[in-house]
Amino acid sequence: MPIATLSLHSLGYCCQKSPPFSLKSSFLSKPTKTQFSFAFKTTEKRPFSHIVSMSMEAGIGVMGTKLGMMSFFETDGTVVPVTVVGFREGNIVTQVKTSATDGYDAVQVGYRRVRDKKLTKPELGHLGKAGVIPMRHLQEFRLQSVGEFETGQKLAVEEIFKEGDLVDVSGTTIGKGFQ
């Protein structure tokens, strides 16, 4: 598994060898070889010194529902807003694709149980063939190897992630229009 290390300088900038640069200037000019395109500035309040390495390999994903927001208090008393995400009602493997049969390795995960009436006949047939309950959302995740996954397996968040892991989060907005 390829690992990329992320080093933070004493100034709190993520850079390779050059001094810190502003994001405004990096968009106007071509970035040099020493600048990272994902450069970010950290503050003294929330240092990212606990991030030692991050994996460049995409892994298995899970789907969840936003339950709300709350505040987290750090040891020095600063308040950090956090989002609470629930992982109930699913995250069941509905299909395992291998390079021998499909040309690539991937796992399809289903989330959120739904009544049979809400799905089309092809969707019901696909999920019935897998032997899983009807699911509203299906998402495919490409992996390096799918040997440890099987159809009908329930993915537990506690087993997949551990404290300190970096995750990518994406979501769908509900669109409130002009305010």
**What's the CATH number of domain 90-160, 3.30.1950.10, 3.30.70.20, 3.30.160.810, 3.40.190.10?**
3.30.160.810
Per-residue model confidence as pLDDT tens digits over 108-167: 999 988 898 999 999 999 888 888 888 888 899 898 888 889 998 999 888 888 888 888
Domain boundaries, the chain: 1-57, 60-86, 90-160
Per-residue model confidence as pLDDT tens digits over 79-113: 999 988 888 777 899 999 999 998 999 999 999 88
Q: Are 56 and 2 in contact (CB under 8 A)?
A: yes
Distances (CA, A) of 24 to 31, 32, 65: 11, 14, 35
**Does the structure show a pLDDT above 90 at 178?**
no
> Can you tell me the distance from the alpha carbon of 135 to that of 91, in angstroms, rounded to the nearest whole number?
9
- pTM greater than the 0.75 cutoff: no
Burial (CB count within 10 angstroms: exposed 0-12, middle 13-18, buried 19+), residue 124: middle
Looking at residue 124, the DSSP 8-state letter turns out to be H
